[in-house]
Homo-oligomer: A and B are copies of this chain.
């Protein structure tokens, strides 16, 4: 069984097919958040602290930490800022962290200070990236997110994306990194732009699980880009990717609808034993709309003789 182990100083988490879905909180990331970027440049970490606490309180399994505040001189500015951000976050919460940067020097600086066993986010299939990132992952014995694009960009052909993922897994093996330490991101396209984006990713996830036997992740909300009511699309996408074998996602845990979908999919996927987490979370849930409970027939779980209508009795115990 594929097990990717990540850890903070005090807490170990397993990412795996038989584990609850790993929610990697995406909020600590100044990309597209001008106010946060400005704060971080000024050395103001109030929003970082708030985002860290809120995401963990909302149920994040891990936190992604990105300090990419500027495209100007990132090789100089990003390493110290990422180090400072990581130190603040790991001093505050006890979940494992993901060190997120496109700057190799920042990844390395982060690895030097991160406690436990962080996840590196990310390597791609580009030669330059492979040669820069994989030795670091080996040196620090940490798992890495492998994004399935390369020098030619992001292929619209899922077979090519699978081949890139396979190449990264093989190259990692050359460096002595086991496939259970590669978490493949098959890349999720916006369904509003590419109608087959869902089917592509479901098929890719099955292949990655069955053929490469690797854990997987994605930037989840990308699927709903450009559509109205994105949370509804995201909340439908989560059970589908979990059903297809995805084991983690970089997402916003502060969205109740998405987190409810994660919890429901864990129940249905058999990774919330006895539905304990579901029941603890929703035992006092009040329906948003009116309705009443019917006197329900026993569910059709017994082994007795049952004909058409009787076999349906469980279905008749509907949630009105």
Residues in chain A within 8 A of chain B (CB atoms): 26, 29, 31-34, 66, 68, 100-102, 121-124, 126, 129, 147, 149, 151-156, 187-196, 198-199, 202, 218-240, 242-244, 250, 252, 255-256, 260-261, 263-265, 267-270, 273-275, 278-279, 282-285, 287, 289, 294-297, 299-320
Contact = CB atoms under 8 A, between A and B. Distances in A.
A311 B100 CA distance: 12
A32 B239 contact: no
A195 B274 contact: yes
B315 A221 contact: yes
Nearest to A230: B319
Given A189-B301, A228-B285, A299-B226, A270 B233 contact: no
B267 A233 contact: yes
Nearest to A319: B230
A268 B240 contact: yes
Contact of A102 (B222, B235, B274, B310): B310
Given A236-B265, A240-B240, A297 B32 contact: yes
Contacts of A314: 188-190, 219, 222, 225
A303 B155 contact: yes
B101 A308 contact: yes
A18 B16 CA distance: 31
B239 A243 contact: yes
Instruction: Determine how many copies of this chain the complex contains.
Output: 2
B317 A221 contact: yes
Contacts of A33: 294, 316
Contact of A283 (B102, B228, B235): B228
A26 B320 CA distance: 11
Nearest to A199: B270
Contacts of A301: 154, 189-190, 193-194
Contact of A315 (B229, B250, B274): B250
A242 B289 CA distance: 26
Contact of A187 (B149, B243, B296, B311): B311
A231 B289 CA distance: 11
A232 B282 contact: yes
A77 to B, nearest CB: 14
B309 A195 contact: no
